[in-house]
Amino acid sequence: DQQVKQNSPSLSVQEGRISILNCDYTNSMFDYFLWYKKYPAEGPTFLISISSIKDKNEDGRFTVFLNKSAKHLSLHIVPSQPGDSAVYFCAASAAGGTSYGKLTFGQGTILTVHP
Amino acid sequence: ETGVTQTPRHLVMGMTNKKSLKCEQHLGHNAMYWYKQSAKKPLELMFVYSLEERVENNSVPSRFSPECPNSSHLFLHLHTLQPEDSALYLCASSPGDRDGYTFGSGTRLTVV
């Protein structure tokens, strides 16, 4: 049972336009959500996060939106740059108990930004 | 360099071999993790070590055996693997802050 799903394996965007990456989750216990970015031959690096008490978090060109009722979050990158081309992973975490410190990841979306 | 170092970066092993993956962090983190990344699949959590507690994913076959001798080092011992175990194995550490996950660059494992 995949608790975090990224249904788009890939996304292609023109430089300067907006990139929107989507993520759905099923576990109601998740209260913290993160996006990671991964370049080839490197490990994932943290990009941005959002707590379930918020519906939006912004950091420069990156904004994450959370819709708790729909169990859906999205990452917006605007304007997109060629250097943003990477695999983006959505991750979720539930507070407390044995879930401490564990992240559940989606399968990733390959973003390609064309010059 | 992220602060989490994994060796080797690449490994090719036969199904009858025994090998070990190593992970080292000097970030002062108290939790370490092994994840497996297969093509087109989510990163799968394999093992967690946190404050000397090991949380084991029940779906991990016994041919994968973790070892955490201290808070800075984590090993994954491999024996009698199958070709479907070929994947990227990622180590991560965290101080307990969910924003503080730091991943290593991974070991690309190929089982022949």
Query: Any chain A CB within 8 A of the CB of B32?
Result: no
On whether the CB atoms of residues B47 and B102 are closer than 8 A, the answer is no
CB contact under 8 A, A103 and B98: yes
Judged against a pLDDT cut of 80, whether residue A99 lies above it is answered with no
Judged against a pLDDT cut of 90, whether residue A103 lies above it is answered with no
- Taking the C-alpha atoms of residue A21 and residue A110, their distance in angstroms, rounded to an integer, is 10
The residue among A103, A104, A109 with the most chain B CBs within 10 A of its CB, best to mutate, is A103
The DSSP symbol for B106 reads -
CA torsion sign for B38, B78, B47, B3 is negative
Asked whether the bond before B42 is cis by omega within 30 degrees of 0, the reply is: no
- State residue B52's pLDDT score: 61
- State residue A90's pLDDT score: 96
- State residue B20's pLDDT score: 97
pLDDT band at A2 (very low <50, low <70, confident <90, very high): confident
For residues A79-87, average pLDDT: 97
| A1 or B80, higher pLDDT | B80
| B57 or B13, higher pLDDT | B13
pLDDT band at A5 (very low <50, low <70, confident <90, very high): very high
**Considering only CA atoms, which of A71, A72, A73 is closest in space to residue A63?**
A73
CB contact under 8 A, A45 and B35: no
- Cα angle B90, B84, B58; round to 5: 65
- Taking the C-alpha atoms of residue B5 and residue A77, their distance in angstroms, rounded to an integer, is 30
- State residue A12's pLDDT score: 98
Q: Which chain B residue has its CA at the smallest distance from A37's CA?
A: B103
